[in-house]
């Protein structure tokens, strides 16, 4: 039986692995849509940047959450995220399923819908749940379509439809993803409504625009003499490379 869901409603899941299929109708002036997933801990944030599954990181290191290739189904396009809920680490409390638009806002995306399937059933079988995702303002460039979350020993699915005008970068940073400076600059140049925030240093490295001072001179104690030691002194112009997810579509 398929559950037709309203915003804010939830449904328990019997399936141990699911496919969340985003479906929309393409056409002239319709932006492309990309599915993504965030694995969240008990604090509602990712445990590390690896917990973000999107077009440039389509598979979680565990292999339990992955993004499948886009498909055309009749007059629709689909983008799919598959998750093995039963095998996920106990530290994962939620899997957020989101959509981001490329080339326009969700005001111009027609018939956006999320269909939740049992991954162990036939691909063309009836979905477990269906939710029509409608933007609230029309200015959204990223939307949380739904979330899979633990409840007791099982899982449930909630229909959400919470939008962000700040695109994929805004969505990612809201859940604790660190965005490197290069990635943020590229997103600001290429994506509408990129967030006006200073990105956190990626993976604990200092920002690349901060020159690291050379260590204070230490007594040579005869090994080596200062003139020779100077040849091995750190280069004060050295820059650590930017790290972290790159928000450029391949």
Does the structure show a pLDDT above 80 at 81? yes
Predicted local confidence at residue 121, as pLDDT:
87
Predicted local confidence at residue 246, as pLDDT:
57
Predicted local confidence at residue 154, as pLDDT:
95
Predicted local confidence at residue 226, as pLDDT:
43
Does the structure show a pLDDT above 60 at 57? yes
What are the pLDDT digits (tens) for 93-134?
A: 999 999 999 999 999 999 999 999 999 888 778 999 999 999
Predicted local confidence at residue 236, as pLDDT:
54
What are the pLDDT digits (tens) for 179-236?
A: 765 444 444 444 433 333 333 333 333 344 444 444 444 444 344 444 444 444 455 5
What are the pLDDT digits (tens) for 130-146?
A: 999 999 999 999 999 99
β-bridge mates for residue 83, sequence order: 18, 65
Burial pattern 189-218, b for ≥16 Cβ within 10 A else e, equals eebbbbbeeebebbeeeeebeeeeeeeeee
Question: Token pair 């998750």 is at which residue?
Answer: 83
Percent of the chain whose pLDDT exceeds 90: 67
What is the pTM (predicted TM-score) of this model?
A: 0.74
Residue 98: phi and psi, rounded to 5, are: -130, 165
Both structure tokens of 172: 């990612």
Predicted local confidence at residue 125, as pLDDT:
86
CB proximity list for 147: less than 8 A, separation 6 or greater:
94, 95, 96, 97, 157, 158, 160
Mean pLDDT, the chain, rounded, equals: 81
Predicted local confidence at residue 224, as pLDDT:
44
């Amino acid at each position: 039986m398929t559950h037709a869901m309203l915003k804010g409603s939830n449904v328990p899941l019997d399936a141990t692995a699911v496919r969340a299929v985003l479906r929309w109708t393409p056409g002239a002036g319709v932006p492309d849509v990309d599915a993504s997933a965030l694995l969240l801990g008990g604090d509602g944030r990712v445990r590390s940047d690896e917990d973000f599954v999107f077009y440039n990181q389509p598979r979680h290191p565990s292999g339990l959450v992955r993004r499948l290739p886009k498909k055309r189904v009749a007059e629709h396009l689909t983008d799919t995220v598959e998750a093995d809920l039963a095998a996920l680490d106990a530290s994962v409390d939620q899997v957020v399923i989101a959509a981001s638009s490329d080339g326009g806002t969700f005001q111009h995306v027609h018939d956006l819908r999320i269909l939740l399937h049992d991954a162990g059933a036939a691909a063309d079988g009836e979905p477990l749940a269906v939710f029509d995702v409608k933007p609230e303002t029309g200015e959204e460039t990223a939307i949380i379509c739904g979330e899979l979350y633990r409840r007791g020993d099982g899982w449930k699915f909630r229909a959400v439809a919470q939008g962000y005008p700040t695109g994929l970068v805004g969505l990612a940073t809201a859940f604790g993803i660190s965005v490197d400076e290069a990635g943020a600059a590229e997103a600001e140049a290429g994506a509408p409504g990129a967030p006006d925030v200073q990105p956190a240093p990626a993976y604990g490295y200092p920002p690349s625009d901060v020159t690291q001072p050379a260590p204070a001179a230490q007594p040579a104690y005869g090994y080596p003499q200062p003139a020779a030691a100077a040849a091995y002194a750190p280069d004060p112009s050295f820059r650590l490379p930017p790290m972290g997810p790159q928000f450029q579509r391949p």
